A and B are shown apart, each in its own frame.
Chain A
Amino acid sequence: MPGKLKAKIVAGRHLPVMDRASDLTDAFVEVKFGNTTFKTDVFPKSLNPQWNSEWFKFEVDDEDLQDEPLQITVLDHDTYSANDAIGKVYIDIDPLLSSEAATVISGWFPIYDTIHGIRGEINVLVKVDLFNDLNRFRQSSCGVRFFCTTSIPLCYRAVVVHGFVEELVVNEDPEYQWIDRIRTPRASNEARQRLISLMSGELQRKIGLKVLEMGGNAVVGYLQCFDLEGESGLVVRAIGTACTLEKLSGGGATNNAQHTANSSPSKDMKEPVFGDECPSNPLSSGPSTPLRAPPFTSFSPSKSYSRQSSSSDTDISLTPKTVLFPARLCLYLSPSSPALSSVAPPISCQTSRPPGSGMAPRSTTPPPSHVAQSEVSMLRKSVSFSEDMLLAASGMGSGGSAGKEAGPLKILLRQQTQTALEQREFPFFTLTSFPQGFLLHVAGVVSARSVKLLDRIHNPDEPETRDAWWEELRQEIKSHARALGCHAVVGYSESTSICEEVCILSASGTAAVLNCRFLQDGCLDVLSEHRCDDSAPPGCGFCHVPYDELNMPFPAQLSPCCCCHRTKVPDVLFTTIDLPTDAQVTGKGCLIQARLCRLKKKSQGEGNATCISNLLPFLEYELHTQLLNKLKLCGMNALFGLCIQISVGENMLVGLASATGVYLSALPSPGGIQIAGKTPNDLTYDQHVSSIQRKINDTIVKNRELYEIHITEVAEDVIGSPIPEPRQRSRLFRSHSESSDELSELDLSHGKKDAFVLEIDDTDAVEDLHSLLTDAPTPPGFYSCNTEIMPGIYNWTSAIQMFTSVRVFRLNNANLTNLGLNKIFNELCENLLKSLYFKLRSMVPCCLCRLNFTVAVPEDELIQVAVTAVAMSFHKDQTQEANKAAQAHSQMKAIAETEEQLQFPLELNAESASPLSPKGSGPQDGSNSHGRAPSVDYSSFADRCSSWIEQLRLRAHTIRRGSIKTSSSPLPEGRSRSLRSTRSFPGSSVSVVKMTPLSFIPGAKIVKYLGIINMFFIRETTSLREEGGVSGFLHAFIAEVFAMVRAHVAALGGNAVVSYSMKECVFMENPNKNQAQCLINVSGDAVIFTRESDQEGHLPQTSHPQPTEDTPP
């Protein structure tokens, strides 16, 4: 009996009225853990009961402590009939089980009812006394820490990174059990919430056991997901990276200085360098990566393709296997966390050289990846790996965590570096940013998808099919990574999309070469071996290709690294990880999205699955092309944080790829985009083509300006942005038969390989063009990215605003074409972004970080887009150049606004002066006297800002309408106008909790991680109209979820949630029945932070910023 849980119910407040007669409530509380229940006394006739109960004690196994939530139910006592439930609070005990996390849970929790939402609050105290359990066969894993953060948490250092852990548990979904027909929606929702809470507890416990087995003490980058498979059950699965963490003695020694200061090249130069040892001699026949010949050669490009098609012929048929962007390689870098590098690495003598000698990149589009042409064969069929697959499989050791013996371990000749990873079943890492020196090279995105038909999970204790599905995908990912000459996958994630009985499983990550030093102790010899090379600067090392140029797994364009000129880099790099902090980046980044909808025939079962798997490769290919085009349009050459979502609906597939584009200094400058018409000699057509071309060229130039990508070209005409004169270009593209000297001349100046040609005769290209040109630029003062940090912006203020926005779009038009559908989807996303910019306009200059889009097709004609992100203001000074326009604008506004208060009363000449002045929270006490001061001359403002004048007119109009606000009337003697500012506001008892999807809080130091927040809520209504329709319903629910997250964090003693994400937001409605239901799953890490400077301790001013503050002196 290794644990004692103690709970005390203190008080309630704001309870709902449960007795109509007295307008009061007779409330009491049931406290339940496992099968034990305690009750408080009834506190009669009060909406603010004070129970002040005794300590309720539960003596329980620590296994239960991990699995079970503490369940608190508030009820209204009723003498004659059954007691009515007011609502519930589930409290996850897990944070109390680790000595380093929270010690007590104490605070006000919203009382939540799945039908009515939040109904009052309850004050609860919870403690745990834990006894040490030395049982070797224990089933619990208390003390293993979980972090959602996908990097090493800020106040820790990683001693060892053990690797991938995964687990899944399945159960029947209570919503689909027979009993659901006879129970109330409330009972069913609660059963579901409780079950999921139990399952995630169990899942964490099981993962914790694996971590302990591996010798770790924490899981970083913990990603837990639910698959609501409907009839066939409920799957809760999680992946993560097991680590051994050590608390830094300084307590939060690493702070976001990392994020703020580190990327200045000068600093980089001095930092220890890892990295470049391998590709130093790219022409040598043996790959210089740690990955040696045998595995590599077996993955020659042609073979790898054939393998894929053959494998789909034979077995895992529905899986379109793609090495996602075979033509682009992605390399990655190592972030700086000096504390972690124990071995003194060679110092780089590299100075930053202007990139420039690169060749203009060539942009071949990858061939549409092999379509799975095979018939549908469901995966219950035995899986026979193709030859290469076997090879790959044989590389898997059994020594890994997750336990399954992967067949005979054929001892191959291997590099020692490999062994550490090879021993693992899956050398995957869910981390997206890494300790310094961890990441050596990045090769590119690897992804795999498969389409499955769901069927009932017969034995929940042995969820073999689900396990097998994922295993299969992971194997595929692994082999793709190998094909890229990499032995590891970083930034790894998994997701599903379910529609009826069809399920798309997706896995993706970034193939990479890692420094094994962190993976295991005792690899030092290997290190030394590699150290003999002089290494590349940290800013570019990760970009260097890990594979051999002669044996490239796919056609790609390599060129010498623009930073060190010694090794080869790809022309474009796509990755799923965050931008390494020490990467050398030119200018700023921006959010790049590719959006695509494809119609699909409605069908059932296997036919449906086939149909989907046939469509998938095209979808991916087109998304990729779109991404590439947009990247070039932005004048950039690399994507980070790439996330491709494909959602399946009954009659369409929706694809949304988001990433952050940047210009990596190491990579060659991206080529332009050239438009070619297929119909020659048509004059108007030519004009059309050239006008589009001009537009595109202008956009590229504009974007470079906007993102501050100033490339110092060595020889502009050879390398630079190779955008030829329109006339020349049209010749180039339409006249392949023309004289060769012309061609060669063009070759010289532009290198025809680089020409990224869009032929606008073809409908796809029209679409591409359309989407290229309709993307509105972000308004002045705004930046956006989906990664943690934005290169080029360092001085954040403390003003952050996390938000969630959801839109559902109904397509009423039954016969839409792909083109029309695409346009709608594109507009939906664009409008959503525009709305966000408008909403957050008061935070300018600001950057929307971690913009996370999720798309779903909840019903036939509905598309749902949910966005969660954080808007962070930054100080303008650094961005002056880019922002001149915006600045001027806001300055003007500032003037207008300050003047406004003076101006108004005058203009109106009303005796009750300044009816408007209270609008500003500014100095309104003075407004009367100002108002009467005749020294303000209206005409002097006339030319300032026309919009302001219009506003003025409007306000004047409002006033004429006769509503003179009483509070601003001049008051006679003795009635001094007391100001809001001077009035003491009854100190709000609610502490502020910040939320952010990022792993850090600007201007603050995270001093303690209190535990993981992982909450699942269901809300249902049968009075949709009364609650304000679907929008009102969801708005209230999301606000409630935020409130509950904040309350839990505050109760743990925290003041922020970092790495917050909304994993799931499933919304279903039935307006005819006036019903709706929504499920939301959120997670994050509760932390305590302290301000670095108290100056900025106030909450972000959300609506009317003081513009004067923003303007630099």
Chain B
Amino acid sequence: MSVELDVFVGNTTIMDEEVYQLWLDGYTVDDAVAVRMEGGALQVFEASMEVLHSDTMDQFRTFQMCERLLYYPSKLTNQLLFQIPPQKQAMLIERYYEFDSTFAREVLGKKLSKGTKKDLDDISTKTGITLKSCRRQFDNFKRVFKVVEELKGPLVENVQHHFLLSDALARDYAAIVFFANSRFETGKRKLQYLSFQDFAFCAGQLISNWTVGAVDNMMEDMDVDLEKDFLHNLKELKILINDKDMLDQHRNLVCAQLRGKITVFGEMEANFKNLSRALVNIAAKLTHTKDVRDLFIDLVEKFVEPCRSDRWAIGDVRLFLTHYTSTAHSLDSFRYQQIWERYMGVIKSCILKMYHD
């Protein structure tokens, strides 16, 4: 004796947000029922387990049917099959595109290809996120990437427009697309301590300051790629380390500003040349795609780690970078103020974001 068929279809599609989340998280129906039972759903109207099972099955089926519409959210808004109130549609879309940051961290900067997809098993085991959920998240990344990749205009707006996401989520996707496009190295062991949010923040900085779109708002802007001219010009900054006088002068200026203000003054003074060289060399190398990819690992190896080993506090780092940037203006023969500002602005905020344990 068994229920062979069991469906419930409402004129307005009934969707429970809690069940939706369970579905998104990749639960099987049975697991979802168990979770709901644990969550006290049975107390509502003394529902029996069968009732809960039937309800869960039904909703999972509905979500499955909606899923193909969610691939291109604008479809969801003008399809006829399900009558869903607009707020609910927005919720469905937003939740569908939400992702686990631990997962995003794993695939960040990787090529969104079949090869990576095969690694999802490992990621699933590592993060404890169900494989099904991993696949959904990965496919979302890939889909958004594919659509947005070739589009002109501001990246975040493109994502928002095509996928009807909230501002915050669109920014996260922009970061993912940006990383996937530039293929920044994020997987090295030394970078493991950085969270997705750290990188997303950095991506935001890069997008808004270093891309073509950052300088002029013309419609044909491409937000995905860093501005070539800018990267090329960064070479000019080498003067800061190649010119011995300038380097000394710079150090003196910085020291003058920081004396008494930071606890690690001695270490700073001793290390100034190394740190300055590191930062300027990173800038000078950015013309090569390969080195662009290594931006974050370079920052960590060449700046964050030395500071950390000298036990700089974050406040010390902030003060140092602020004055390091600003004092360059006082250098007589330094003519690349604008480029310097643009470069250091981003580097400073990235380093500060990355400077933690």
Contact = CB atoms under 8 A, between A and B. Distances in A.
Nearest to B18: A919
A36 interface: no
Nearest to A831: B50
B338 interface: no
Given A803-B9, A988-B89, A1035-B65, A839 B1 contact: no
A1030 to B, nearest CB: 4
B109 interface: no
B220 interface: no
Given A779-B45, A831-B50, A947-B40, A1039 B82 contact: yes
A947 B40 CA distance: 5
A118 B81 contact: yes
B100 A964 contact: yes
A779 B46 contact: yes
A132 interface: no
A803 B166 contact: no
A14 B204 CA distance: 35
Interface string B77-100: 111111101111111001100111
B322 interface: no
Contact of A834 (B47, B171, B204): B47
A1032 interface: yes
A1038 B5 CA distance: 13
B334 interface: no
A993 interface: yes
Interface in A943-998: 946-948, 950-951, 953-955, 958, 961-967, 969, 971-972, 975-981, 983, 985-986, 988-990, 992-995
B30 interface: no
Contacts of A963: 25, 100, 102, 129
Contact of A1031 (B7, B90, B200): B7
Contacts of B129: 962-963
A1047 B80 CA distance: 7
B253 to A, nearest CB: 28
Interface string B126-137: 011100000000
Contacts of A1030: 4-5
A936 B174 CA distance: 36
A801 interface: yes
B213 to A, nearest CB: 16
A1032 B61 contact: yes
Contacts of A989: 77-78
B80 A805 contact: no
A809 interface: yes
A1102 B9 contact: no
Contacts of A840: 14
A834 B7 contact: no
Interface in A1037-1058: 1038-1040, 1042-1043, 1046-1047
Contact of B5 (A807, A836, A947): A807
A972 B349 CA distance: 11
Contact of A1042 (B11, B58, B94): B11
B38 A803 contact: no
Given A14-B79, A810-B4, A948 B40 contact: yes
A972 B15 CA distance: 33
A1040 B81 contact: yes
Given A810-B2, A1032-B61, A1047-B80, A975 B7 contact: no
B3 A1039 contact: no
A110 interface: yes
A980 B14 contact: no
A779 to B, nearest CB: 4
Contacts of A1038: 7, 9
Given A950-B40, A1040-B81, A966 B57 contact: no
A904 interface: no
B316 interface: no
15 contacts: A802-B11, A808-B5, A810-B1, A834-B45, A838-B45, A921-B87, A950-B39, A954-B38, A954-B40, A965-B98, A967-B166, A978-B168, A1028-B61, A1067-B5, A1103-B14
Given A838-B45, A985-B86, A1036-B65, 19 more contacts: A108-B80, A110-B80, A803-B8, A807-B5, A809-B1, A812-B1, A838-B47, A839-B14, A951-B39, A953-B38, A963-B129, A967-B98, A983-B166, A993-B83, A1030-B5, A1034-B5, A1034-B7, A1046-B83, A1102-B10
Query: Sorted from nearest, which 3 A-B pairs have the closest CB atoms?
Result: A947-B40, A978-B167, A779-B45
Interface of A: 13-14, 108, 110, 118, 121, 779-780, 801-813, 824, 831, 834-841, 862, 864, 912, 918-919, 921, 946-948, 950-951, 953-955, 958, 961-967, 969, 971-972, 975-981, 983, 985-986, 988-990, 992-995, 1028, 1030-1032, 1034-1036, 1038-1040, 1042-1043, 1046-1047, 1067, 1098-1104
